[in-house]
Amino acid sequence: KIAIFWFRRDLRVNDNAGLYHALKSGFKVLPIFIFDKNILDKLEDKDDARITFIYQEIEKLKTQIQKHNSSLLVKYGKPDDVWANILSDYEVRAVYTNHDYEPYATERDESLNQYFSKKDIPFYTFKDQVIFEKSEIVKDDGDPYVVFTPYKKKWLAKLKDFYIKPYPTEKYLTEFIPVKSFDLPTLKSLGFEKSTQHFPDKEFKNVLKNYGVDRDYPAKDATSRLSVHLRFGTVSIRNLVKVAQKEKSDVWLSELIWRDFYFSIIYHFPHSAKDSFRKEYDQIKWRNNEKEFEAWCHGKTGYPIVDAGMRQLNETGFMHNRIRMVVASFLTKHLLIDWRWGERYFARKLLDYELSSNVGGWQWAAGSGVDAAPYFRIFNPYEQVKKFDKDHKYIKEWVPEYADPFTYPQPMVDHKFARERCLDTYKEALK
C-alpha cells in the first residue's frame, strides 16, 4: 500500500509542495515521471533541447532519490495507459501532484481525477509553481483582473511570509518507498536525440543590483536566465521571491508577478491560448505571407535588430526580453502576420517556452491581449537600436555580416510604409 508522487513541471525534491504532502501522508511514496506521448508526438524536432533538458534533470532527480534507498519510476506513454499499468502493478492508496494550469493539463487532470475516484483513490493536487493561483488574486467582486497594475498591487498586499515559506521535504526523505533502481528509458526509445544546446546555470546570478537599469540592454548579460528552470520547476518560485525581497529588487519581483499574472489569465480565459483575448482583433486581415514569415524565422529581414534576435533564438533557444518584444511587434505589425504563427515558432524554439507567458507576450505585442500595447504603438526597429544597442554590440554578436554594408541585405519592407499599412489594417478591423 503506497502513495504516488507524480513529478511534472516541478523537477526538484527540495521545497516541493505536493511531494512534501505525499511524504507526510503516512504511506511510503513511489515517485514517478511520465514522458507524455501526447506532448512528445507534437514536437517537430528530434533533437528538441527541452527533452534533453528534462532528461538530464530526471537523471539528477533519480540519483538524488537513490541516495535514500529508493528510485524514480520513469514511464513513456499516454497518461491514461501509463496510469492503468501503474494501478495494476501497485496497490496505490493516494496520488499526489502539483497543479498545472495549461488547458491540456487541466483537462488531463480532470479526466484522471474521475478515473481515480472510480477506483476510490484520492487525487491530491497542490499549488507549487506560482505564489498565487486561480482566484486567489481577483477583484473585490470576484472577477479576474485583466490589467497588470491593480493585479500586482493586490498580489503585493496579499504577500505574507507564509506564502514563501519553503516546504521542508528534506525532513521526510526516509518516506520514499525502498526499491532497487528502476531503468530509465533511453532518449532514443522516446524518439529523441541528445541536443547539443547549452543550458543556463541554475545557480542564482547576482544581477539584481542593476537589474532595473540594465535589463533592457540585450548585449549585457543582465537578467537572471532562470526562465528555463522556472519552466520545469528546477528552482522554487518561493525561494526566488525571497531573493527578490532580500535584494530589494522591486523591478525583478515585478517580472515574477507578471509570470503569476499570465498563469491566472490562462486559467480564467483558456480560450486566449488560441483566440485573441480581445475578439475584435480576430477581424484583422493578416497578410500571412509565407515567404516573409520564413525570412523572419531565419533572421533575414534586413532589420539587424530583428535578425539578431531570431538568430539568437535559433542558435541558443533563448532571446532577450526586449528583443522578443521587437521581433513580435515586427512580425505582427510590420509584416501583418498572425500572432499565432509567431507564437508557434517561439513554442518550437524557446527553451523556456511557457504557454501562458508566450501567448501573453505575443498578444501584448499584437495589441490583442490583456493589458496590451495600444495597436498604434508600433516599435520603430531603428529607434530600438539607438536606445538599447547603440554600439551594435548585440547585433554584431549574432549578425556578423552586418559589419559589411555591402553584404547585409536591404530591409524587406520600408518602415514608414509598413507602419501606415498596419495602422490602416488595424483601423479597418477595429472600427
Q: Which of 99, 215, 311, 334 binds ligand FAD (CB under 6 A)?
A: 215
258 has catalytic annotation:
yes
380 has catalytic annotation:
no
Catalytic residue from among 6, 252, 258, 398? 258
Write out the binding residues for ligand FAD, residues 328-357 only, by CB under 6 A.
328, 346, 350, 352-354, 357
User: Rule CB under 6 A: is residue 321 a binding residue for ligand FAD?
Assistant: yes
CA–CA gap between residue 343 and residue 16 (Å, rounded):
30
Tell me the closest approach of the beta carbon of residue 9 to ligand FAD, in angstroms.
12
Q: Cite the DSSP H helix spans in 227-303.
A: 227-232, 237-246, 250-268, 290-297
Report the residue number, 255 or 397, with the smaller CB distance to ligand FAD. Answer: 255
User: Rule CB under 6 A: is residue 224 a binding residue for ligand FAD?
Assistant: yes
> Which residue minimizes CB distance to ligand FAD?
361
Contacts of 375 (CB under 8 A, 6+ apart): 367, 423, 426, 430
Write out the binding residues for ligand FAD, residues 43-82 only, by CB under 6 A.
none
Return the amino acid letter for 90.
Y
User: Rule CB under 6 A: is residue 363 a binding residue for ligand FAD?
Assistant: no
Which segment (39-47, 125-133, 138-146, 253-261) binds ligand FAD by CB under 6 A? 253-261
321 has catalytic annotation:
yes
Tell me the closest approach of the beta carbon of residue 228 to ligand FAD, in angstroms.
8
Report the residue number, 225 or 421, with the smaller CB distance to ligand FAD. Answer: 225
Tell me the closest approach of the beta carbon of residue 292 to ligand FAD, in angstroms.
18
**In contact, 213 and 250? CB cutoff 8 Å:** no
For helices 290-297 and 339-349, angle between their N-to-C axes, nearest 10 degrees? 40
- Grid coordinates standing for 3? 502513495
Q: Which of 414, 417, 428, 322 is nearest to 375 (CA)?
A: 428
CA–CA gap between residue 95 and residue 82 (Å, rounded):
14
Catalytic residue from among 6, 155, 252, 339? 339
User: Rule CB under 6 A: is residue 358 a binding residue for ligand FAD?
Assistant: yes
Tell me the closest approach of the beta carbon of residue 93 to ligand FAD, in angstroms.
36
CA–CA gap between residue 308 and residue 314 (Å, rounded):
10
**Environment class of residue 225 by beta-carbon count within 10 Å: exposed (0-12), middle (13-18) or buried (19+)?**
middle
Active site amino acids: 255, 258, 286, 321, 339, 362
